[in-house]
C-alpha cells in the first residue's frame, strides 16, 4: 500500500489521537454519506454475556460526494461537543480543529502537487504562533514518499529527516530517521501480508554513545542497533484488525505494553457496525456505528 495514503491518515491520527482503529474514516468504498458512532463501556448481564454499559462518548462523521471526510464531531458522554474537525478541499487542503466553545485551536494546511502528492504540511497551534511545525515531502515516480523533512517554522534550516525504502510492490519496509544534526536516531522495519497490511514492525535505536558517530550518508549495521519496540497485528479477510500486541525492549527484557483484540458485526455492504474491544483478553468497550449511504 502506498505510503502517501498512510501519510494522510497519519496526519489525521496526530490531530485526533484516534487509536486502535476504533472509528475508521477511510472505508468509504460504498458511497458513505455519514457515520454516527457511540462508544460504550462493557457490562455483563446475569448470564455473563457482554452487553453495553454506560455511554462513554460519541462521534459524527460527514463525507462529501467524492467520499472525502468533510467534518468530524466528537461528543462527550452528556452529548456536548468536545472537539470538531472541519476539512476544506481546495488547492490547499485545510483541516481546522475547534474546541467545545467553537474556538479554533489547531490548523493543518496540506499542499499537494498536480499528482495529488502531499508536498508540504504546516501545523499551527492558535495559542502559540511562534512554533509552527511543518513538513516537506519528496516522492519517487511511483508516488511513494522518499524523504520527509520536519522542523519548526522559525528554524527552517534545522530539519529532522526520515528516509523511506520500499519493496518491489510498494510496501514501506524501512524508515531511517535522522535528527537536526544528521545523526541517526532510529530505524523502523515493517513486514506485510499479501494484501498490503502491516503484520509486524520493529524499531531499532543506536546506543547513545554511538548515535553521534553516524551521519546522513553513513550505513549503520544492524548489530550496532538496539531494539526498543516491536509489535504484531492480525487481520480478518476484509482487512480489519482482529488482534494486535506491542512490546517494549528495555535492558534486553521484553515486556508487553498493550494487547488488543476485536470482534465485529457487519452490515450488508461489508462495513462494520459493531465492534467489541478487548484489552489483555478482557472486554473493555463496545463501539456501534450507524452508516448512512449516498
C-alpha cell at 6: 498512510
Q: Say what the pTM is.
A: 0.81
pLDDT of 184: 79
**Torsions phi, psi for 277 (to 5 deg):** -100, 125
Q: Where are the domains of the chain?
A: 3-293
What's the sign of the alpha-carbon dihedral 10, 118, 191, 197?
positive
| Distance of alpha carbon 62 from alpha carbon 185, whole angstroms | 39
CA 241 to chain centre: 14
pLDDT higher than threshold 50 for residue 19: no
Average pLDDT in the chain? 85
**Residue 207's pLDDT band (cuts 50, 70, 90):** low
| Distance of alpha carbon 161 from alpha carbon 127, whole angstroms | 27
Answer with the residue of higher pLDDT: 103 or 252.
Answer: 103
CATH architecture, domain defined by 3-293 = Beta Barrel (2.40)
Q: What are the tens digits of pLDDT across the range 178-188? A: 887 777 788 99
Mean pLDDT for 129-156 is 83
Mean pLDDT for 120-137 is 83
The CA-atom distances, in angstroms, between 191 and each of 3, 26, 199, 232, 234 are 14, 22, 6, 9, 12
**Residue carrying C-alpha cell 462521534:** 59
The CA-atom distances, in angstroms, between 62 and each of 52, 84, 285 are 25, 12, 24
pLDDT higher than threshold 60 for residue 173: yes
Amino acid at each position: 500500500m502506498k505510503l502517501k495514503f498512510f501519510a494522510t491518515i497519519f496526519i489525521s491520527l496526530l490531530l485526533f489521537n484516534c487509536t486502535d482503529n476504533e472509528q475508521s474514516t477511510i472505508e468509504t468504498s460504498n458511497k458513505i454519506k455519514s457515520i454516527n458512532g457511540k462508544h460504550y463501556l462493557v457490562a455483563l448481564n446475569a448470564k455473563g454475556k457482554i452487553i453495553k454499559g454506560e455511554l462513554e462518548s460519541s462521534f459524527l462523521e460527514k463525507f462529501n460526494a467524492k467520499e472525502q471526510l468533510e467534518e468530524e464531531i466528537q461528543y462527550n458522554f452528556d452529548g456536548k461537543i468536545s472537539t470538531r474537525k472541519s476539512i476544506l478541499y481546495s488547492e490547499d487542503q485545510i483541516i481546522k480543529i475547534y474546541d467545545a466553545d467553537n474556538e479554533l485551536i489547531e490548523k493543518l494546511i496540506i499542499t499537494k502537487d498536480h499528482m495529488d502528492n502531499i508536498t508540504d504540511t504546516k501545523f499551527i497551534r492558535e495559542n502559540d504562533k511562534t512554533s509552527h511545525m511543518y513538513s516537506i515531502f519528496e516522492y519517487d515516480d511511483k508516488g511513494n514518499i522518499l524523504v520527509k523533512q520536519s522542523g519548526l517554522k522559525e528554524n527552517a534550516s534545522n530539519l529532522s529527516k526520515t528516509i523511506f525504502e520500499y519493496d518491489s510492490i510498494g510496501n514501506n519496509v524501512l524508515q531511517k530517521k535522522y535528527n537536526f544534526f544528521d545523526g541517526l536516531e532510529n530505524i523502523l522495519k515493517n513486514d506485510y501480508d499479501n494484501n498490503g497490511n502491516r503484520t509486524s514492525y520493529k524499531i531499532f535505536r543506536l546506543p547513545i554513545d554511538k548515535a553521534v558517530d553516524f551521519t546522513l550518508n553513513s550505513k549503520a549495521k544492524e548489530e550496532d542497533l538496539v531494539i526498543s519496540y516491536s509489535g504484531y497485528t492480525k487481520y480478518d479477510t476484509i482487512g480489519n484488525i482482529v488482534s494486535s500486541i506491542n512490546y517494549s525492549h528495555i535492558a534486553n527484557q521484553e515486556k508487553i505494553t498493550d494487547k488488543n483484540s476485536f470482534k465485529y458485526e457487519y452490515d450488508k455492504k461489508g462495513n462494520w457496525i459493531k465492534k467489541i474491544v478487548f484489552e489483555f483478553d478482557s472486554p473493555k468497550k463496545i463501539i456501534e456505528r450507524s452508516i448512512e449511504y449516498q
